[in-house]
Amino acid sequence: MHVQNSVYSDRLVKRSLFDETLINNAIAPIVGLVSGALAGGIEASVTYPLELAKTQAQLRFNRRWRHLDTASFLRRTVAADGVSSLYTGVGSAVSGAALKVGLRYLVFDGAVHAFKNGNLHSTNIDYAAAGVIAGTAESVLVATPSERIKTAMIDDSNGARRFRSSADAARQICYAEGLSGLYRGLVSTTCKYAGTGAVKMGSYHFLAEQHKSIFGHSSRSVQDTFVLGAGAGIVTVCVTQPLDVVKTRRQSSRSETLLLAARNVLHTQGVAGFWSGSMFRLGRMSVSSGIVMSVHEKVVDLLKF
C-alpha cells in the first residue's frame, strides 16, 4: 500500500511539473511581449533628449555643433528653441520603442527556445543569432517607419518646420512619397538592428555569465542588471556606430541613397564622420540598455508563475 501511494505521489508530481511547463511555455511569449513593451516605453521616455542630441549631431555636421558635449548640446538646443524642443518627435519614438522592444523579446525568446533543441543551456552564439533574428523582425515591422518619422521630424525642425506632429509627418511623407516613404532606409536600418541585436544580446548574456561565475547563482539585483545592460550597450555602440550614422543620414528629410549617404559622410567629415554622435549615443545606449534589461527582467519576475 505504501509503495502504491509513493508511485501515485510521484505521478502527481510529474503531472504537476508537466502542467507547469505547458503553462510557462504558453505564457512566455505574452510575458516577453508585455515586459518588453513596458521596458521600451519607459526607456524611450527617459532617454529621448539624448537620442535627439545624437540625431542632431549626425545631421548637423558643421563645426559649430560638431565638438559640443552632450550637456552643451542640450543647453544650446533649449536656448534656441525651448525645453519642448528636446522632445521633438517623442510620440513616434515612445510608441515605436514600446512596439519594437516588445516584438524584440517576443521573437528573441522564441528563437532562443528553438535553438536550444533539447539542450539545457543556450550558448552565447545562440543568443547572438537570436538577436540577429529579433533585430531584423524589429526593423522590418516597427523600427524603420517609426525612426523614419522621428528622424524626418528632427531634421525638419532645423529648417522648414513643416511637420506639426508625428501623425502629420507620417501623413505628409506618405502623400509625397507613398507608403514606401516610411520605409526609406530599410536596408541600413535592418543592418543596424540586426547587428545591434547580435552584439547587445550576445554581450549581455556573456556579461551575465561572468557575473554568475563570480558571484554565484543567486538572483541578480536590479542594480546589477542595470550595470550589465549598460555594459552591453557600450559594447554595442563601439561596434555598430557607423551603421547608425548612415541609417540616420538615409532617413533624414533629404533624399540620399544608401551609397550616397555613406559617400557624403566620408566626403564632408572623413572616416571620423562615421563615428559622429557616438558620445551622445554612448550615453543614451548605456542608460537605455540598463533600463530595458532591468525593467524587462523585473517585469518577467512579476508576471511569471
Distance CA(276)–CA(158), nearest Å, equals 18
In a domain, 9, yes or no: no
Distance CA(293)–CA(96), nearest Å, equals 17
In a domain, 7, yes or no: no
Q: What is the pLDDT of residue 198?
A: 93
- Global pTM reads 0.71
Distance CA(92)–CA(110), nearest Å, equals 27
Q: What is the pLDDT of residue 12?
A: 40
Identify residue 178 by its one-letter amino acid code: G
Give buried/exposed letters for 216-231 (b at 16+ CB in 10 A, else e). eeeebeeeebbbbbbb
In a domain, 154, yes or no: yes
The dihedral formed by the CA atoms of 84, 85, 90 and 91, expressed in degrees to the nearest 10: 60
Q: CATH number of the domain that 233 lies in? A: 1.50.40.10
Number of domains present in the structure of the chain: 1
Q: What is the pLDDT of residue 23?
A: 39
Q: What is the pLDDT of residue 143?
A: 84
**In sequence order, which residues have a C-beta less than 8 Å from that of residue 175 and are 6 or more positions away?**
none
Q: What is the pLDDT of residue 130?
A: 93
Per-residue pLDDT of the chain (305 residues; tens, 9 = 90+): 444 444 444 444 444 433 344 334 545 677 888 888 888 888 888 888 877 777 766 666 555 555 556 677 777 777 777 777 778 777 777 887 888 889 999 999 888 888 876 666 788 888 999 999 999 999 899 888 888 887 777 777 766 678 877 788 888 889 888 888 888 878 888 988 999 999 999 999 999 989 988 887 667 888 999 999 999 999 999 888 888 888 777 766 565 677 887 888 888 888 877 877 777 788 778 888 999 999 888 888 887 65
In a domain, 3, yes or no: no
In a domain, 100, yes or no: yes
Distance CA(13)–CA(112), nearest Å, equals 27
Distance CA(92)–CA(150), nearest Å, equals 6
Q: What is the pLDDT of residue 134?
A: 94
In a domain, 195, yes or no: yes
In a domain, 216, yes or no: yes
